[in-house]
Structure 1
Amino acid sequence: MTVGSQVKQCLSSLKSIEATLNSFAIMTDEDEARRAFHETCLKTRKVIQQMEARVDELEIEEPQYKGF
């Protein structure tokens, strides 16, 4: 597995985690838990944005990684 595919796989996992956290935030009845899930979801979103920027850099530096 190449570095590019590993980074993209990690990005995919992070997006799944973000969706799960968002679902938990919506489903829970406890305010404190809802806030915790929401805050963690926002932090995960920031990491996703950083990873997406890294994927863009990888695709520019190594065109063979583009589109995988």
Structure 2
Amino acid sequence: MTVASQVKQTLASLKAIHAGLQQLALTSQDETAQRTFHEAMLTAEQIIAELKDRVGRLEFEEPQYHGK
């Protein structure tokens, strides 16, 4: 498995985690838990953005990875 495909797989997993955190933040009854889930969701968003940038750089540097 190439580095690019590993990064893309990690990105997909992180997006699923983000969705789970978002759902937990919305459905939790405890205000502290809601805040904790929301903060974790925001952190995940930052990491997702960084990984998307990294995927773009990998695809630019290694055109054979584009779209895989």
TM class, shorter-length = over 0.9
Q: Could you say which residue in structure 2 is the equivalent of 1:64?
A: 64
Extract unaligned runs of 5+ from structure 2. none
Counterpart CA distance in 2 for 1:13 and 1:25 is 18
Q: Could you say which residue in structure 1 is the equivalent of 2:29?
A: 29
What is the letter of the counterpart of residue 51 of structure 1?
L
Task: Report how many aligned residue pairs link the two structures.
Answer: 68
What is the letter of the counterpart of residue 24 of structure 1?
L
CA RMSD between the two structures: 0.5
Q: Could you say which residue in structure 2 is the equivalent of 1:44?
A: 44
Per-residue CA deviations over 1:20-63 (Å, capped at 9, x if unaligned) read: 00000011011000000000000010000000000000000001
Deviation >6 Å, runs of 4+: none
- TM-score, normalised to structure 2, is 0.98
1:10 matched to 2:20: no
Extract unaligned runs of 5+ from structure 1. none
